[in-house]
Amino acid sequence: MLEYMFSHSVLGLCAWDLPALIVLIVMIVVFGVHRHKQKKREKDFEDQLADKLAQETVDTVQS
């Protein structure tokens, strides 16, 4: 049993460690991209809302 463990691991790493590490890195990158896009969408929404409220204020004052 001990011989099997040593022959199927390199430097103490299991065969599934590298694929798991790759998946982890991909998930972190996807999370970062999603967060960046979400922050941009929130900023755009806040700008649109501010413009709309400013326009409504101008329309109310002119009436």
Residue 5 — very low, low, confident or very high, per pLDDT cuts 50/70/90? low
Average pLDDT of the chain to the nearest whole number: 85
Q: With contact defined as beta carbons under 8 Å apart, do 62 and 54 qualify?
A: no
Its pTM stands at 0.64
The per-residue pLDDT for range 13-26, each reduced to its tens digit, is 777 888 999 999 99
* Distance from C-alpha of 32 to C-alpha of 52, rounded to nearest angstrom: 30
Rg (CA), the chain: 27
- Whole-number percent of the chain with pLDDT over 70: 79
Domain ranges for the chain, please list them. Answer: 1-62
* Distance from C-alpha of 44 to C-alpha of 11, rounded to nearest angstrom: 50
Look up tokens 């798991």; give the residue. 20
